[in-house]
Structure formats: C-alpha cells, structure tokens
Amino acid sequence: MYFDFGSRRLFVCVGPVDMRCGAERLSQMVVTKMELSPLDNSAFLFTGKRRNMIKILVWDRNGFWLFTKHLYKGTYAWPKDEESVKKQVTAEAVAALLEGQDRWRRLEDTKGRELQ
C-alpha cells in the first residue's frame, strides 16, 4: 500500500523512541518532545536505538494511522542531532530514507567540503 505524503508536512523526531509505543503514546511525544500538534495535516517519523524500524504517525480527521517498516538487514540513516536536520523534511527526503539512502550524511559531507 502507498500513502501519499506529498500533501502533508513531514517531521522527524531525531531522538530514539521506544518502538513498542503505539499511536497514542507517539502522539503524546509529538506534543511534549516536538512541541507540535499531532492532529494537523502532518506526518511524524520515529525510530528506535537500533534504527532498524521506522514508525510514521498520521492523523486523518477521525483516527491515527501508524505505519511501520522494519528492516531485517541493515539500518536506516537517521540524523544524529537537531542541527543536522530541519524539523520539517520533504516528501522526497522521506522516500529516499525509506529506500535506504542517507540524505543526512550526504548533507554533512557537503557542508564539510564547503568549509575546507
């Protein structure tokens, strides 16, 4: 199944979260940790310490969708700190992340080359 994220604002929760959490607990984290509303036209991406699973939380006017993608080999590229990623990301960046591309490391390498 494919869900159209292009019409939504996309946000990455940078720190690791407990992947056992469900939609209600993740929505609480959106409010407390990210200081955003989980009920607007947005999608929120989460990962755990091992970075082999991603959860995407979406509100659709009458309930939460909770998408989960679990890798059985390898890990997802994930930003290390708040400064390496804007809070809001593009749909292309999310698609690249789900395909296994490392957008954040590429951005850090580019910044390093520009400074040298």
pLDDT digits (tens, 9 = 90+) for 14-51: 888 999 999 999 999 999 988 899 998 899 999 998 88
| 2 is a domain residue | no
| 4 is a domain residue | no
Q: Is the pLDDT of residue 114 over 70?
A: no
Distances (CA, A) of 53 to 37, 41, 58, 77: 23, 23, 17, 11
| 35 is a domain residue | yes
Q: Is the pLDDT of residue 8 over 60?
A: yes
| 17 is a domain residue | yes
The candidate with the shortest Cα–Cα distance to 89, out of 50, 43, 57, is 43
| 1 is a domain residue | no
Residue 91 confidence (pLDDT): 83
Q: Cα 51 vs. chain centroid, distance in angstroms?
A: 11
Residue 87 confidence (pLDDT): 66
Residue 113 confidence (pLDDT): 47
Its domain, for residue 91, covers 9-115
| 20 is a domain residue | yes
| 90 is a domain residue | yes
CB–CB of 67/61 below 8 Å? no
| 3 is a domain residue | no
Number of domains in the chain: 1
58-98 tens-digit pLDDT: 998 899 999 998 888 888 877 776 654 446 788 888 888 88
Residue 4 confidence (pLDDT): 73
The better pLDDT of the pair 116, 87 is held by 87
Residue 86 confidence (pLDDT): 44
